[in-house]
Amino acid sequence: MTRVLSGVQPSGDLHLGNYFGAFRNWVSDQHQHDSYYCVVDLHALTLDHDPAALRKRTLDVATWLLAIGLDPEVCTLFVQSHRPEHTELSWLLECTATFGELRRMTQFKDKSDGQETVRAGLLTYPVLMAADILLYDADRVPVGDDQRQHLELARNLAQRWNTRYGETFVVPEAAIPTVGARVMDLQEPTRKMSKSTGTDAGVVYLNDEPAVIARKIKRAVTDTATDVTYDPAARPGVANLLSLLGASTGADPRRLAEDYSQYGPLKADTAAAVISAMAPVQERYRTLAADPGSVEKILAQGASRAREAAAATLLRARRAVGLLDPA
Ligand code: TYM
């Protein structure tokens, strides 16, 4: 059976990019594959953070994932730091990765650019991500387009290790959706929608009220043309609306463009589609958030299920690289 693993950082409020780029695939994958999903709290330590907010957000992100439809009966949902195997394998992989390849990662360059101090963990971030994936022998990693380069690094590390120390890791493949892989900021449509760098008016959060969603989409930046065509490079604002409408309704954005000649109706239909996709999720979130103890219990069960897979791979890796078994 195919093994799936993916993760999300609890570093800010979740938004439509996370939902259409990743989470929707997580929900469908759980019914077809042996799926592991983690809230990657250790990754959230790589930039400035508030400890109390991190603790709260970690539980909150898990609550949203359940609201979106992850079913703890069929998938394994856990918190990354609850499995110490991740950091241990990460060190072994750090001694396989090179400084040069980590320094060249575009996310490292973007996030370190102009900063007075840069945490060492920001540089080694993608190695920890590779450890998350390789620990579970994941064949398939459902992510948005922005994680493509990190996935390529995970593949390179697995292949390099296997060549150097013998077959140890499964070489993973990224699974990137055809529609919604790159949801853009509604105010600055040449930048991806992001919880850390986005403008508030440009990001639709999963917990935005329907009226707020409608307002943000109505005010989305388009362009000065008057017709509607799907051209992400030349007309990123309009293409983004068509992609959101397509991702919400299951239709092809290019085809949808033929149905519209003006921005007003396109925005109204996009807002209505997003609001109706979010309504059941928001309702389940409210119910689940009222009982944080149950969510914590699900996470504890998840961590204990994850242990089985993680411990076996870690032992294989320790032996392959030459670490002495404890007596
Ligand atoms: P993160 O927390 O930034 O985002 C979680 C998922 O949401 C996707 N995503 C988007 N997709 C489309 N459009 C957008 N605007 C958009 N913004 C975010 C991301 O591609 C991601 O799939 N490094 C990862 C977390 C991670 C991970 C892992 C992922 C850690 N370990 C192991 C997979 C496997 C990250 O920061 O995602």
List pLDDT tens digits, range 77-102.
999 999 999 999 999 999 999 999 99
Structure tokens at 127: 């190695």
Averaged pLDDT, 141-146: 98
Averaged pLDDT, 61-74: 98
pLDDT-based confidence at residue 196 (cuts at 50, 70, 90): confident
What percentage of the chain carries pLDDT values higher than 70? 99
List pLDDT tens digits, range 273-292.
999 999 999 999 999 999 99
pLDDT-based confidence at residue 244 (cuts at 50, 70, 90): very high
Q: How far is residue 81's CA from residue 87's CA, in Å, rounded to a whole number? A: 8
Cα distances (Å, whole numbers) of residue 277 to 50, 52, 232, 248: 32, 31, 23, 6
pLDDT-based confidence at residue 195 (cuts at 50, 70, 90): confident
What percentage of the chain carries pLDDT values higher than 90? 96
Q: Whose CA is nearest to atom 37 of ligand 1?
A: 8
Which one is catalytic: 56, 195, 267, 297?
Answer: 195
Does the pLDDT at position 197 exceed 80? no
Q: What is the 3-state secondary structure (H, E, C) of 34-94?
A: EEEEEECCCHHHHCCCCHHHHHHHHHHHHHHHHHHCCCCCCCEEEEHHHCCHHHHHHHHHH
Q: How far is residue 323's CA from residue 315's CA, in Å, rounded to a whole number? A: 9
Q: What is the pLDDT of residue 325?
A: 96
List pLDDT tens digits, range 129-143.
999 999 999 999 999
Distance from Cα 129 to the centre of ligand 1, integer Å: 11
pLDDT-based confidence at residue 157 (cuts at 50, 70, 90): very high
Q: What is the pLDDT of residue 199?
A: 80
> Which atom of ligand 1 is closest in space to residue 11's alpha carbon?
2
Q: Whose CA is nearest to atom 14 of ligand 1?
A: 17
Q: How far is residue 278's CA from residue 282's CA, in Å, rounded to a whole number? A: 6
List ligand 1's pocket residues with C-beta within 6 A.
5-9, 17-18, 21-22, 40, 43, 129, 132-133, 141, 143-144, 146-147, 150, 181-183, 192-194
Does the pLDDT at position 261 exceed 80? yes
List pLDDT tens digits, range 198-242.
689 999 999 999 999 999 999 999 999 989 999 999 999 999 999
CA-based nearest residue to 229, from 239, 241, 243, 217: 239
Distance from Cα 143 to the centre of ligand 1, integer Å: 6
Give kind and range of the element (H or E) at residue 3: strand 3-8
Give kind and range of the element (H or E) at residue 96: none
Residues 40 and 87: beta-carbon distance below 8 Å: no
